[in-house]
Amino acid sequence: MFLDMNDRPCSRSLKAAISGAKRWLAALVLSLASLHAQAELMITISEGVESAIPVAVVPFKETGVMPEGERFSDIVRSDLTMSGEFSTLSPAKMLSLPSRGDDVYYRDWRLLGQRYLVIGEVTRVGDRLNTRFEVFDVASQERILGETAGAPVSSARSLAHYISDKVYEAITGVPGAFSTRLAYVTLQSDNGQPLYKLQVSDVDGKRARVRLESREPILSPAWSPDGRKLAYVSFETGKPVVYIHELASGQRTAIADFPGLNSAPAWSPDGRSLLLTLSKDGNAEIYKMDIASRSLTRLTTHWSIDTEGSWGADGRGVFFTSDRSGGPQIYYMEREGTEPRRITFGSRYNARPRPSDDGAYVYYVHQREGAFHIARTNLESGEETVLTRTLLDESPSVSPNGRMLIYATKQNGRSVLTVITSEGGSSYTLPASEGDVREPAWSPIVR
């Protein structure tokens, strides 16, 4: 079945997306309906979370000419909302708009049922924006954060996301992930021909930039731990080849171009090696490639299909998908060369494992009653939780702080990206303004 890769996959791929049994492979034989896609993703918040913490982000006092586009504090507000952990108060409902701690009347905010209050100001000095922001706990009437920061005017959005990160951390105690980025693949039809684009954007879908365009599929983007490189599979030469793409310079290197299948790249936590699925020895197996020397170590030896390797948090164990027990299931190899242990037992189909950075969970695609969901298993207790209610879910990717999860699903016949909290609370959808978007990958936090 993997030798299907030698065929041109685009034309026959739609069938694969429909058939459940072939779906696992459809991840390799990417199937996208031919529709127009534009660079920018639009956010639609579909559902709030009941346990969301009420936060008021007061419009920042602005001095000087602000860059065009959204207001500074609006970006912070929408960041906090999309995390799914906060419900934010509309400025129209605010009784006062303080920008300094002295002007805060706690009873106003208590009356409005707010738990936390974010205020601040932003001042333009030449080509720079300087900001001062504070967070207050309304109940205890205490200031829990006060900070100043600055950035060039051209990086206004980065500065706003930085504030969101700090506010998020002050309230939850966990670092925010709003300054991180998303990589994904869009497909549009260009004169009747499919056109694939590998894009990188902010987590809110803004500032998207096309990094690669191809008439042939692009698959499985994976971030290097330093956030500077992407590894992915591209069919541009007519067969799957794994490339490493340096984002700053645009320099690309074909790192795996063996006969047969080259797929599913995953970086080791130290960034020195890649896990790859190769069929050069006749059957799909997982290999580790040392990037500097390009030397390969074969990790799996089984006549069934082993693929989608992903390093565990400790950088030694490897999660992967194997059909050695009849259907795809997640296995974990604790050390190189040890006997893999099966992790998933909830149904006949569990694939594409993505362990969380803290090593507590593994997220994966889970089939139940004919539908595909994202589920996670607690690695200590073995308990499985189905997280999504949508029906054709694929490609889970966990945010680096472990609090959010992005995955691809179908909405009105189109592929969209959906972000939920890692507990399963529904949050927001990122459809391409036209066309399909799939294969999301959440970048690490880069300081």
Partner 1 sequence: MRKILMASVALSLCGSALAQSATPAYQDSRSQAQQNAGASQANAELFYMLEQLQREVRQLRGELEEQRNQLDRLSQQSRSRYIDLDQRILGLNEKISEPGPGEAAAAASDVDVPAASRPEPRDYRAPSAEEQQAYQQIQSLIREQKDYDAAIGKLYDFIGQYPEGDLTVNAYYWLGEVYLVKPQLEQAKQAFTIVASRFADHRKAPDAAYKLGITLDKMGDAEEARQQMDAVIRSYPESGAAELARKFLATE
Instruction: Report in angstroms how near the CB of residue 37 gets to partner 1 at its nearest.
Output: 33
Give the separation between CA 369 and CA 261, rounded to whole angstroms: 31
Which residues in the 350-389 window bind partner 1 by CB under 8 A? Answer: 382
- CA angle in degrees (0–180, nearest 5) for 207-173-178: 5
Cα-trace Rg, the chain: 23
With contacts defined by CB under 8 A, how many residues of the chain interact with partner 1? Answer: 19
Stretch that binds partner 1, among 44-52, 85-93, 322-330, 414-422 (CB under 8 A): 322-330
1 makes contact with partner 1 (CB under 8 A):
yes
CA atoms within a 13 Å half-sphere pointing along the CA-CB vector of 206: 14
In sequence order, what E strands does 248-313 have?
Answer: 252-256, 262-267, 273-278, 285-290, 296-298, 306-311
Stretch that binds partner 1, among 143-151, 234-242, 297-305, 349-357 (CB under 8 A): 297-305
Q: Which is nearer to partner 1, 140 or 148 (CB)?
A: 140
**Residue selected from 297, 345, 433, 446 as contacting partner 1 according to rule CB under 8 A:** 345
**Residue selected from 73, 279, 377, 401 as contacting partner 1 according to rule CB under 8 A:** 279
N- to C-terminal Cα distance for the chain? 43
**Residue selected from 326, 339, 369, 412 as contacting partner 1 according to rule CB under 8 A:** 326
324 makes contact with partner 1 (CB under 8 A):
yes
**Residue selected from 342, 358, 434, 446 as contacting partner 1 according to rule CB under 8 A:** 342
Which residues in the 74-103 window bind partner 1 by CB under 8 A? Answer: none
Number of Cβ within a 10 Å radius of residue 158:
14
Three-state DSSP state, 245: strand
Shortest CA distance to 272 belongs to which of 252, 289, 250? 289
259 makes contact with partner 1 (CB under 8 A):
no
Three-state DSSP state, 179: coil
Three-state DSSP state, 227: coil
| Distance of alpha carbon 242 from the chain centroid | 20
21 makes contact with partner 1 (CB under 8 A):
no
**Residue selected from 303, 339, 380, 413 as contacting partner 1 according to rule CB under 8 A:** 303
The site for partner 1 (CB under 8 A) is made up of 1-4, 279, 282-283, 303-305, 323-327, 329, 342, 345, 382
